[in-house]
Structures are given as structure tokens and as C-alpha cells.
Amino acid sequence: MKNILLFIIPLSLVFGIDQAIKWFFVINNFNYDGNIISLVLVYNKGVAFSMFAFLEEWLKYIQVALLVAIFIYFWKNIVSFKSYIIPAGIIFGAGISNVLDRFIHGGVVDYIFWHYKFEFAIFNFADIMINVGVACIIIYTLLKKNTKT
């Protein structure tokens, strides 16, 4: 039960925070133009850097299938999953939130635009949380290897 909560709580927090921020931008059509970061509402039809936008309507179903496949893999390899349960919850919460956007809005709601010194892709809180989750998994893996030697 504890392991399930360690997965569900970060998943729910990331999902809830991300959806709340996105709905704020959607309902208010909020925009802010700053010197370093601008906040602009954009619907990304692709994935990172708008790649695979040509898949259009199929992309959301491919992403759902991918999330289900990863979840099944973790479920069948529960020993490995326990080591990464919190970062996995973070990643799944963010991933589910972005996929839900595709069903509701026709694309992922993005709003953070970094443009200081160089222009970066427009992204959202869920994208940041996916990177945080992956970084945690990498750090956990490296720390685990160092303790074995």
C-alpha cells in the first residue's frame, strides 16, 4: 500500500498542478512578454520541438499506448519499479496531463517561452517535471552503482 501511495501522490500532485496552470492560461488567454521568459499560450500538436506533428490525431493514441506499455513493464518488474517509484509517479503525472491536453484541446497546452540569448521551444510545467523525474532516475541509478563498489 505504501508503494502505491508513493506513486499516486506525486502523480496526482504533478497532474493537478499542471492542469490548474494550463486551465488558467486557456480560460484567461493569458500572455506576458518578459525580457527573459515570456508566457504565451500555444497548442503543440507534436511532441518536443513539435516533432511528429504530422501524426496528428494518431499521436495521442500512440502516447496512451506508450504510457500503458511502460506501466505494464514497471508492474511486471516491480522490484525495479520500487527503486524509482517517486520519479515514476512524477513522470506519469506529467505524461498523463500532456496526453489529456491532446484529447481536450487538440494539442498540448504550452506557455513558457525562454528567449534570452537564444530562443528555446515553448514548454510547460509537465515538461519540466518529466525532466526532473528522468534526472532523479539517473541520479538514483548512479548513486546505487557507487554504493555497490
Q: For 8-62, what is each residue's pLDDT tens digit?
A: 999 999 999 999 999 999 999 999 999 999 999 999 987 765 666 667 777 889 9
Residues in CB range of 76: below 8 A, 6 or more apart: none
Name the residue ranges covered by the structural domains of the chain.
2-148
Q: Please report where in the chains the cell 502516447 appears, as a residue.
A: 63
pLDDT in tens, 106-131: 999 999 999 988 888 899 999 999 99
Residue 108 Ramachandran class (φ > 0 left, ψ -120 to 50 alpha, else beta): beta
Order of strands, edge to edge, in the sheet holding 122-123?
37-44, 108-114, 122-123
pLDDT in tens, 63-96: 899 999 988 988 888 777 788 999 999 999 999 9
Q: What is the number of other CB atoms lying within 10 angstroms of the CB of residue 117?
A: 7
Q: What is the reported pLDDT for 48?
A: 65
Estimate the crossing angle of helix 85-105 against helix 125-148, to 10 degrees. Answer: 160
Q: What is the reported pLDDT for 6?
A: 93
* The residue count for the chain: 149
Specify whether the CB–CB gap between 42 and 29 falls below 8 A.
Answer: no
The pTM of this model reads 0.87
Any idea which residues carry the catalytic annotation? 110, 127
How far is it, in rounded angstroms, from Cα 132 to Cα 138?
Answer: 10
